[in-house]
Homo-oligomer: A and B are copies of this chain.
Amino acid sequence: MSAHKKLTTDEKIHAMAEEMARQALAGNEPLFQVPSRTLANVNFNEVKRIVELGEGKTAREFFNLGQSKKYMQTLLVAEACKRLVAAGKTNSIRDLYYMTKHTIASTRDNTFESQDESDPIIEDLEVTLDSLREELHLFASNKGALVGDLTVVDGGDVIDCRRMGTGGWSVPSIVEPDVIQFREHEAKFVLLVEKDAMWRRLNEDKFWKTHQCILIHGGGQPPRGVRRLMYRMVNELKLPLYVFVDNDPWGYYIYSVVKQGSISLAYESRRMAIPSAKFIGLSSADVEKFQIPSEVTIRLEDNDIARAKEIMAYPWFVNNKVWQKEIQRMLSSKVKLELEALSAKGITFASDEYLPRKIKDKDFLD
């Protein structure tokens, strides 16, 4: 729906509804096209360096026994989102399920039986309207926190992220420009930390102050809000992003999703993926480089090995010599390493030695 590019979300939903009414009133079968979110329709764009959705579409037809329920559900979800947008309110995807669930008049059938039915419909609507979930006024769980050399405006409130104490600013799920605006910053880079424990270590040590940066964590795989906020910081504030994760296949995967996007959310890549992101560690070379004691390394499990081999074969890693070497070295060493293992070298080792040396030496993987 490229014609919708400059429309507001409200207008897009309105246009979709009008089109359905027009088809029906003209005596035609009501239907709309949904970009397909299957693996076959996902590509790696070598130029943009992101995972993208292809051009494939499937029709969703009202007069098709196998599709009419989903047709109805999509329009119900669209209607509920229009109500949210009109009211200037946001809701969780679970609330949306309850908003759209009802018994169909003079039947015993419900529009939705479980949230498992409404969640994919939301994704369908996102791709159909070319609107982020956040633009539909829907949010997922809140996860992640931020401190550092940056002031933001969040829902009208000025938040000085330099003065957020030990807890930090809780990153909202919806960080679109109408809710979150950036103000003054002197940060030189953004550091994404996989886990909140290491984030708190760095915050307590005032690492962000000594190194003039923004510290953010996503509590594991960063949620959409954290990814979108990092995207905005990198693109609007022109900051480099460094990714600091466990040295295991899961850590590699977090980096990969942040950088290139994921297959399941391929349609979001161009608003979330950050191809310029750099991997600061932990690297499989660090055990030797920083003399990490061997008793804090963890033996690779069979599923780690299988997962590492899968990741090596990703189109964006397969021809990348640096990454082939990195993953191969982890496989040969037969061990992985958690961020917390750095504590074995001293309480503030990560803040005082590991990260400063990596940054000074520009010892990044790309």
Contacts and interface: CB of A to CB of B under 8 A. Distances in A.
Interface residues of A, number: 61
B348 A89 contact: yes
Interface string A114-150: 0000000000000000000000000101100100000
Interface string A86-104: 0101111011111101110
Interface in A146-185: 152-159, 163-174, 179-180
Given A165-B154, A170-B145, A172-B166, A344 B102 contact: yes
A259 interface: no
Interface in A178-228: 179-180, 196-197, 200-201, 204-205, 219
Interface stretch (A14-22, A262-270, A335-343): A335-343
B344 A99 contact: yes
Given A99-B344, A347-B84, A141 B296 contact: no
A295 interface: yes
A67 interface: no
A235 interface: no
Interface string A55-99: 000000000000000000000000000011001011110111111
B167 A163 contact: no
Contact of A142 (B99, B200, B338): B200
A202 B103 CA distance: 27
A347 B174 contact: no
A154 B164 contact: yes
A315 interface: no
A87 to B, nearest CB: 6
A110 interface: yes
Given A98-B341, A167-B169, A90 B295 contact: no
23 contacts: A89-B205, A92-B197, A92-B201, A92-B340, A94-B340, A95-B197, A95-B201, A98-B341, A99-B344, A99-B347, A141-B219, A142-B145, A142-B167, A142-B200, A145-B170, A156-B165, A158-B163, A164-B169, A165-B180, A166-B172, A167-B171, A168-B170, A172-B200
Given A95-B340, A142-B167, A153-B165, 18 more contacts: A91-B197, A94-B197, A97-B340, A98-B342, A98-B344, A99-B343, A103-B293, A141-B219, A142-B145, A142-B200, A145-B170, A154-B167, A155-B165, A156-B165, A159-B165, A165-B172, A167-B169, A168-B170
